[in-house]
């Protein structure tokens, strides 16, 4: 993988430093200038073309040299990819649970496009699905028409509302990241204060605190004197921090107390607050997460997470398929993987319970059951042990009946 990363960085640097676009543009400018000259005075055509020959040839040579370098780098990159990802067949899709759920796949694609800001692409995708439904209905294919109609389970009005919401989110993020303008985000957080507080979110205060620090350092101009910056920050605190006093009194005291250390802020206890290089990125990520949560969505696209998790799991599944083929065995379990797939902690969303009796993970069809004694085993193990009568817990002397067990929700 290091070789691929090295070649990728080398290719990217070469493409960024390449002058091929400038060389092509220079050739176009030369030809356009010559055309204008000849159009203005046709008698100068021969001399104009004669003068044009050497510059155009030099420009073409420079373009070709740049293309050769880019082509060479691209070849090395593709060879590194081929060496790392050898051409092997993908795992069998015989037990692909999503193959019978095209509406869910289409929904995930459209939602991914909308939340990534690709509104025109999402609209085109929706239009093509609608056209497919109309064609299927015209041909009398009711099943295909019904599957297409079920896309998103959203009507056009709902789709437009979702698009407007994400358009608002991207506008606020643009102002926050590119323009260093926190006011749209603060206004949104203030308008949704009740919902955010119900979630225990501190987004509004985080935005206002960053606005205080931003003003402290001079605001947008960054040319304001330190005294003027402190005064602007103090006025902002007096105007905006009153509503935060009950919940964030200590944090506000730290902000105001830091003004006494202004000449030597780097050595003060408040350095982390006023010199946090990731503050803008952190608050942007928090805003995105809270915005999506109020829409009932996760902060990251489920399609992106699923594709990334699949890419991580693919080498293990390919190796498993090779071993199974060599040993002439089959993977017969449909609801769980036969091997452990190591995923990053951020990709673990659900608690996992392994039955201490059967050593198998519980599923929706085989949920965990808690007996009166407090011990938990899988439902299948409970049925096998009880056999319809009272039985002894496998981990303590208590006896109970299967009907006394309660389903556990993790």
Mean pLDDT of 327-344: 70
pLDDT band at 121, cuts 50/70/90? confident
Alpha helices, H only, 295-371: 302-327
pLDDT, residue 310, reads: 85
- In this structure, the strands spanning 376-378 and 391-392 are unpaired
pLDDT, residue 236, reads: 92
Give the integer Cα–Cα distance in Å for 147 and 355: 38
Give the integer Cα–Cα distance in Å for 107 and 307: 15
Mean pLDDT of 378-390: 88
Q: Residue 255 in contact with residue 215, Cβ under 8 Å?
A: no
pLDDT band at 203, cuts 50/70/90? very high
pLDDT, residue 212, reads: 92
Q: Residue 238 in contact with residue 224, Cβ under 8 Å?
A: no
Q: Residue 360 in contact with residue 354, Cβ under 8 Å?
A: yes
Give the integer Cα–Cα distance in Å for 255 and 327: 67
Give the integer Cα–Cα distance in Å for 297 and 305: 13
pLDDT at 204 over 90: yes
- In order of 99, 133, 178, 308, 378, the CA distances from 103 in angstroms are 10, 12, 37, 21, 33
Least confident residue range of 105-109, 284-288, 304-308, 365-369: 105-109
pLDDT at 113 over 90: no
Whole-model pTM: value is 0.60
Structure tokens that stand for 106 in this block: 């289409």
Mean pLDDT of 316-320: 81
**Residues 206-255: pLDDT tens digits?**
999 999 999 888 877 655 567 788 888 889 999 999 999 988 999 999 88
Closest CA to 64 of 19, 29, 30, 28: 19
Q: Report the percent of the chain where pLDDT is more than 70.
A: 84
pLDDT band at 157, cuts 50/70/90? low
Closest CA to 3 of 84, 70, 75: 84
The alpha carbon of 2 is separated from its chain's Cα centroid by a whole number of angstroms, namely 24
Instruction: Indicate the DSSP class of residue 85.
Output: S
If one compares 355 and 156, the residue with the highest pLDDT of the two is: 355
If one compares 130 and 309, the residue with the highest pLDDT of the two is: 309
pLDDT at 95 over 80: no
Please list, in sequence order, all residues whose beta carbon lies within 8 angstroms of the beta carbon of residue 68, skipping any fewer than 6 positions away: none
Give the integer Cα–Cα distance in Å for 212 and 194: 23
Closest CA to 408 of 387, 377, 380: 377
- CATH superfamily label, 350-410: Zinc/RING finger domain, C3HC4 (zinc finger) (3.30.40.10)
pLDDT, residue 117, reads: 81
Give the integer Cα–Cα distance in Å for 221 and 151: 49
Q: Residue 356 in contact with residue 372, Cβ under 8 Å?
A: no
Least confident residue range of 95-99, 116-120, 333-337: 333-337
- In order of 82, 110, 165, 275, 302, the CA distances from 116 in angstroms are 30, 10, 12, 31, 12
Q: Report the percent of the chain where pLDDT is more than 90.
A: 17
pLDDT at 26 over 70: yes
pLDDT, residue 152, reads: 46
Closest CA to 69 of 16, 105, 4, 25: 16
**Residues 28-78: pLDDT tens digits?**
888 888 888 888 888 888 888 888 888 888 888 888 877 787 777 778 878
Structure tokens that stand for 363 in this block: 């599923």
Closest CA to 233 of 251, 254, 211: 211
Mean per-residue pLDDT over the chain, rounded? 81
pLDDT, residue 135, reads: 79
Torsion angles phi and psi, residue 386, rounded to 5: -80, -40
Torsion angles phi and psi, residue 398, rounded to 5: -65, 145
Mean pLDDT of 294-310: 86
Neighbours of 105 (CB within 10 A): 13
Least confident residue range of 22-26, 252-256, 306-310, 367-371: 22-26
Most trustworthy range by pLDDT among 46-50, 132-136, 174-178, 359-363: 174-178
Q: Which residue has the tokens 């092997």?
A: 88
Q: Residue 180 in contact with residue 280, Cβ under 8 Å?
A: yes
pLDDT, residue 168, reads: 92
Q: How buried is residue 172: exposed, middle or buried, by Cβ count under 10 Å (0-12/13-18/19+)? A: buried
pLDDT at 9 over 90: no
pLDDT at 172 over 90: yes
């Amino acid at each position: 993988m290091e070789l691929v990363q090295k070649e990728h960085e080398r290719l990217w640097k070469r493409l960024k430093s390449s002058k091929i676009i400038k060389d092509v543009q220079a050739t176009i400018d030369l030809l356009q200038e010559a055309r204008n000259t000849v159009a203005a005075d046709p008698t100068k055509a021969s001399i104009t073309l004669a003068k044009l020959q050497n510059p155009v040839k030099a420009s073409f040579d420079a373009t070709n040299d740049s293309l050769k370098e880019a082509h060479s780098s691209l070849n090395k990159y593709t060879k590194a990819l081929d060496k790392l990802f050898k051409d092997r067949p993908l795992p069998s899709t015989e037990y692909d649970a999503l193959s019978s759920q095209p509406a869910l796949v289409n929904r995930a694609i459209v939602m991914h496009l909308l939340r990534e800001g690709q509104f025109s692409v999402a609209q085109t995708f929706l239009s093509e699905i609608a056209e497919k439904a109309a064609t299927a209905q015209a041909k009398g294919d009711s099943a295909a028409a019904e599957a297409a109609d079920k896309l998103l389970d959203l009507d056009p009005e709902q789709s437009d509302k979702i698009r407007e919401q994400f358009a608002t989110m991207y506008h606020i993020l643009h102002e926050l990241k590119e323009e260093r303008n926190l006011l749209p985000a603060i206004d949104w957080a203030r308008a949704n204060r009740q919902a955010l507080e119900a979630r225990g979110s501190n987004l509004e205060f985080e935005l206002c605190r960053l606005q205080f620090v931003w003003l402290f350092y001079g605001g947008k101009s960054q040319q304001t004197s330190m005294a003027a910056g402190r005064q602007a920050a103090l006025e902002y605190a007096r105007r905006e921090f009153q509503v935060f006093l009950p919940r964030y009194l200590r944090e506000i005291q730290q902000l105001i107390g830091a003004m006494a250390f202004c000449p030597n802020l780097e050595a003060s206890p408040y350095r982390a607050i006023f010199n946090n290089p990731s503050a803008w990125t952190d608050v942007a990520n928090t805003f995105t997460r809270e915005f999506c949560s109020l829409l009932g969505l996760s902060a990251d696209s489920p399609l992106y997470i699923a594709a990334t998790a699949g890419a991580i799991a693919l080498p293990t599944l390919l190796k498993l398929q090779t071993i199974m083929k060599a040993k002439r065995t089959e993977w017969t379990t449909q609801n769980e993987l036969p091997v452990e797939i190591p995923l990053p902690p951020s990709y673990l969303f659900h608690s996992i319970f392994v039955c201490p009796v059967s050593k198998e993970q519980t599923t929706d069809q085989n949920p965990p059951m808690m007996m009166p004694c407090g011990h938990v085993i899988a439902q299948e193990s409970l049925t096998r042990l009880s056999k319809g009568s009272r039985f002894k817990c496998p981990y303590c002397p208590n006896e109970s009946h299967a009907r006394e067990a309660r389903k556990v929700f993790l």
